Amino acid sequence: MLRALLIFIFLGLSACGGNQPTQTITGSTMGTSYTVKAIGSSVSKLQIEQALSQVNKTFSTWDKNSELSLLNQKPINKWIDVSDELFFVLSQSQKIHQQTQGYFDPGMGRLIDAWGFGITKTAKKPGRAQVSELLPLSSIQYLQLNNGQVKKTRDIHINLSAIAKGFGVDQVANLLKEHQVKNFLVEIGGEVIASGKKNNKHWALGVERPNGTKPIAIALNNQAIATSGNYRNYFVWEGVRYMHILTPSSGLPAKTDLASVSVLDKQTMMADAYATAMMAMGSEKATALAKQLNLPVVLILNQTNNFKVVKINL
């Protein structure tokens, strides 16, 4: 799914942590930018980009030779061996699909492409008849998993863009931890994970408000945060303004009372997926889900609701 950069990293990130220098590495990945801030680290840009390259080789829908793209081309009703990484993310995706009552559904690849949210940019949006035709081929419920193998029971296309970027952030974080780096921040396209402290303070970020007022300050205590919003990336269909997130049950663009959702979790990939699902379900169901899962969440309602801020478990 398309997602605007709605997170600001602030409080002097270029400063040093105690007597140890802050290493800053930036670059491009997954169609966006990344930033790594690590205190006392010797991890190189090459090592980081090798980790990110592997994520792309596994999950990219833009690369026709990625593992996911090749899986999408496989026939139905046949068990396919997949990598540990892909099996893990697909397993977690099924878990989140169940937790969110289907609002997170990466099995909608065909519909995502039809709407022009994927690799194919369409000048014309689909009609309701085409959506109805693709809907029976658009759910992760038609994917079976067992001991490192997967099987499609219908000819679905899987699109993991609403969770893979978060997984990439977590992979870079794991790389830093393997090299005994304790204090760091990793950001890819607005998805962030922080570990330890900087200058004896938790890493601090700001969630952008749609009305341009002061960002909502968030301190990350060994946590990740992901934000999904619709007030930058949107389109008009049948005369109505919609976000670039689909309602899985209908295959149509979601229209809710939310302008943005920010979710905190220990894993960026989980925060990434939950934020997407909550945007699609609206504030009432998002609030109930956050309470059920004990997730720290910041909801910003839409302009009709005066951009009201609702904080849950924070």
pLDDT digits (tens, 9 = 90+) for 219-263: 999 999 999 887 555 555 555 556 678 899 999 888 899 999 999
Residue 50 domain flag: yes
Full residue range of the structural domain in which residue 197 is found: 7-55+163-312
Angle between helices 268-281 and 164-178 (to 10 degrees): 160
DSSP bridge pairs for 198: 201
Residue 127 domain flag: yes
Asked whether residue 271 carries a pLDDT value surpassing 70, the answer given is yes
Kind plus residue range of the DSSP H or E element containing 56: helix 45-59
pLDDT at residue 74 in the model: 97
Indicate the number of domains in the chain.
2
Q: Do 182 and 302 fall into the same domain?
A: yes
Q: Do 267 and 176 fall into the same domain?
A: yes
| Whole-model pTM over 0.75 | yes
What is the rounded CA–CA span in Å between residue 312 and residue 314?
Answer: 5
What is the rounded CA–CA span in Å between residue 70 and residue 81?
Answer: 12
| More confident: 119 or 100 | 100
The pLDDT-based confidence of 40 (bands split at 50, 70, 90) is confident
